[in-house]
Structure 1
Amino acid sequence: MLKICITGGPGAGKSSIMSLLENILQDRGFHVCIVPETPTELILTGIKPGDCISMIDFQEFVLDKQLAKEKLYEKMADYCDPDKLVIFYDRGVLDCLAYVDRDIMEKMLQERNLTFSEVMDYYDAVFHLVTAADGAEEFYVWNDPSKEDVGNNAARSESPEEAIVKDKKTLEAWIGHSHLRVFDNSTDFSGKVDRVVEEVFNLLGEPLPKKIERKFLIEKPTQEDINNMGCSSASNIIQTYLVKKDENVERRVRQKGNKEEGFTFYYTEKRDVSNVERIEKEYKITPDEYVAYLSEADTSLHQISKVRYCFIYKNQYFELDSYSFSEEYALLEIKINDIDEEVELPPFIKLVKDVTGDKNYRNSSIAKNLSF
């Protein structure tokens, strides 16, 4: 079991990065739990510092709820393979130090028979994501009382200046942890994401996800072939393409899962960099947000329904998409670091042709007439 605290200043990209990590790790066969940010939960349900609740009293609420959630999620190891369990905490216990003095926090912990070192050692790693207000100011969104738009977090009331102060206090709270890593805004957000993903995979001892995509049209494998792949995961996926707001940006929503195990929902934007490389931004969304996005569906395109099988062959990580509309063909993908890198296909794969870079074999193109 790997427990990682994702912390940092307001508007640092924690939610987006955890959503991406969840998607990548689930495809690798990991069970991922994301523990939501406690202060935001409390504020949105009406418990917030103000006239009747002081900041110290509010942090007492936060601490009790956070400790209870951590005990709850740690029990997940009893229900699944602990070697395949990753828990991301959206902020941890010591984040309270950004709002109360250290002596007050120490007293709060003592009342619960805890020490700073015990709380710090609870997490295998702490990732501090620097607020966008510090180095990427144009991307910092907050609930500015002078504007109607509350951005992506109605509970975020910190101005950019306040966000930077909170960011530094939060970082100071975790100094001393044996695996504290800081991810600043020295690159664009995509680069920031890549650095976080690399650190997670290093901790897991897993090979890093690749960036360049090779794609092959293959004969559709039989169920026996699929069972013999030693798949790490199989996911039911429904993709719906949305009306473009920018001609160069592809937009879609995706439903992943089934009735027995539950569903997760994602919003994705893709922009071409070259024929084989695309910049992708993906966010986990709520069921209500998913339904709202469906109202923006591009009615000229069909929904894509497929099953994605993920497997490893000779240390190569493959994704095989089996589509409901075709009994004859399927698509096989692998991501690599260099377009000239040699790819060895499994012997049970019957190759029809290499379609790398061929836009006709993108899902958005297939959605036009549901055929290859």
Structure 2
Amino acid sequence: MRSCYWMKHFHLFRRYASHFTLQLTRRYRYIDVHKQIFVMSQEEGKNRNKVYKVVLTGGPCGGKTTGQARLCSFFESMNWKVYRLPETAYIFLSGGVKFTSLSKEDAYRLQRNLIKTMMQIEDTFFDLANTCEQNCLLICDRGLMDGSAYLDPTDWERMKQENGWNSVQLRDNRYNQIIHMVSAANGAEPFYTIDGHNTRHEGLDTARKLDEITAAAWVGHPYYDVIDNSTGFEEKVNRMISTVCSRLGIEVNDRLSSESKKRKFLVKSLAPESMFPGYQDFDVQHYYLSSPSRKTQARIRKRGQNGYWTYTHTMRRQVQDSMVEIRMSISEKDFNILYEQRDAKRHPIYKKRRCFLWNNQYFHLDIYKEPNPERCKGLMLLETYTALKGDDLPLPDFLEIEREVTGLTEYSMYNLSLKE
């Protein structure tokens, strides 16, 4: 039974890989060998269609509304079905509700009901996507964690406890990707405006603060992209669309330009916790699996916080000149079945992953933990996705960076796990 389960997932990999090969003659091309193709965390609908859920969030005047419309048009042109989920808070705000006029307890109850309403709206769209005949993209105008940005931390913890919620469930398991569109108030001040928005009244300082707390609410999601104002608005929107394409494993020849790739840095020593901006820590376990093909790498991951876990199954295979990587969310039961297929020639890898935002850039700091092979002792690697090259990328000034190790095979987890 276990062998059949593994082969089912191997055949899924082959189906996706053959899909990419077929598309080479159409409008897609492979990302070059230095940029992996990720087919990640997608769900399959009842008709074997892809279902992908992305949250568009951000501060005031960040380009979210325009970005949603452009993202919708882009994927519809590729024959995807696109559902645009409305911003639930707007229903209340446009209906005359003013949060500032509510008592603290009334605001708490409204926020709780807003989140429950959002859950129901999302679940209705998710159910529609599940039976869609086409590949389906769901664009959520904000997500559940946005609500936490407007509550005191103690009230947010109280709300989760009263309703049986947890952050891993609300943040990590529900959506495939989070995109934060940075407010024009942070880096593009001349373009910040409240004109044409009946529910927007924020000045620059307030907008910056809202942008900051909204961004912090999503820190910890495994696939979180921050789109800043380092370029003009047109390029900003294109970068946003490109991140979705990149995460889905498709890149379009001449319709978008994106040079973003993962960069990795060796960290010499760990700074005190007080020096980090707001962060989320996760326990991460990786196990490599025996593979039916020497050209295929396979692993499972268990990632958790406060006793709540997400599970991922990843396969990598060289296809033509590119490394294709497929990531799928799986259940705990499936994880335990695949766990029995561990590769006896490789160690499990244990890490603490610290996720944080610094200078509008999303970073992962992987701190390798015991029990690990000797070569991992004291190892710390900082990772981020960026289009910036060389010294153009500002690195956290509170960390002592030894050197860049992007592309060095001795720092790949696959090689670090090998038994001697």
Aligned residue type for 1:129? M
> Is 1:29 matched with 2:79?
yes
Structure 2: distance between partners of 1:210 and 1:9: 30
What is the aligned partner in structure 2 of residue 42 from structure 1?
Answer: 92
What is the aligned partner in structure 2 of residue 20 from structure 1?
Answer: 70
Aligned residue type for 1:167? D
Superposition map of 1:318-333 within 5 A? none
> Is 1:164 matched with 2:208?
yes
User: Given the alignment, which residue of 119, 122, 132 partners 1:70?
Assistant: 122
What is the aligned partner in structure 2 of residue 280 from structure 1?
Answer: none
Deviation at 1:194, TM superposition (A): 1.4
Superposition map of 1:68-107 within 5 A? 68-81=120-133, 84-107=135-158
Structure 2: distance between partners of 1:211 and 1:67: 34
Deviation at 1:107, TM superposition (A): 2.0
Structure 1: distance between partners of 2:116 and 2:230: 36
What is the aligned partner in structure 1 of residue 368 from structure 2?
Answer: none
Deviation at 1:58, TM superposition (A): 2.9
Find the residue that maps to 1:75 and give its secondary structure: helix
Percent identity over paired residues? 30
Kept after mapping to 1: 8 A contact 2:58/2:211:
yes
Deviation at 1:43, TM superposition (A): 0.6
What is the aligned partner in structure 2 of residue 155 from structure 1?
Answer: 199
> Is 1:51 matched with 2:95?
no
What is the aligned partner in structure 2 of residue 137 from structure 1?
Answer: 189
Structure 2: distance between partners of 1:117 and 1:102: 16
Structure 1: distance between partners of 2:102 and 2:213: 25
Kept after mapping to 1: 8 A contact 2:60/2:210:
yes
Find the residue that maps to 2:252 and give its secondary structure: coil
Structure 2: distance between partners of 1:34 and 1:209: 26
Q: 1:42 to 1:53 in 2, by over 3 A?
A: farther
Find the residue that maps to 2:99 and give its secondary structure: coil
User: Given the alignment, which residue of 59, 79, 90 partners 1:9?
Assistant: 59
- Unmatched segments (≥5 aa) in structure 2: 1-50, 257-420
Cα-to-partner distance string for 1:89-116 (whole Å, 9 max, x where unaligned): 1111111122112221122223222101
Structure 2: distance between partners of 1:191 and 1:52: 40
Structure 2: distance between partners of 1:207 and 1:52: 47
Structure 2: distance between partners of 1:98 and 1:52: 17
User: Given the alignment, which residue of 87, 90, 113 partners 1:61?
Assistant: 113
Deviation at 1:46, TM superposition (A): 2.3
Q: 1:164 to 1:52 in 2, by over 3 A?
A: closer
Structure 2: distance between partners of 1:90 and 1:128: 11
What is the aligned partner in structure 2 of residue 120 from structure 1?
Answer: 171
Find the residue that maps to 1:89 and give its secondary structure: strand
Q: TM (normalized to structure 2)?
A: 0.46
Kept after mapping to 1: 8 A contact 2:242/2:251:
no
Cα-to-partner distance string for 1:5-45 (whole Å, 9 max, x where unaligned): 11111110001011001111111010101111111221101
Structure 2: distance between partners of 1:120 and 1:184: 21
Deviation at 1:53, TM superposition (A): 5.4
Q: 1:53 to 1:46 in 2, by over 3 A?
A: farther
Structure 2: distance between partners of 1:15 and 1:185: 16
Find the residue that maps to 2:69 and give its secondary structure: helix
Find the residue that maps to 1:96 and give its secondary structure: helix
- Runs of 4+ with >4 A deviation: none
Structure 2: distance between partners of 1:111 and 1:68: 18
Between the two structures, name the one with larger relative contact order (CA 8 Å, sep ≥ 6).
Answer: 2
Superposition map of 1:137-216 within 5 A? 137-142=189-194, 151-208=195-252, 210-211=254-255
Deviation at 1:50, TM superposition (A): 4.1
- Cα RMSD, aligned residues only: 1.7
Find the residue that maps to 1:7 and give its secondary structure: strand
- Unmatched segments (≥5 aa) in structure 1: 143-150, 213-372
Q: 1:108 to 1:11 in 2, by over 3 A?
A: same
What is the aligned partner in structure 1 of residue 356 from structure 2?
Answer: none
Q: 1:61 to 1:158 in 2, by over 3 A?
A: farther
Aligned residue type for 2:245? F
Kept after mapping to 2: 8 A contact 1:48/1:58:
no
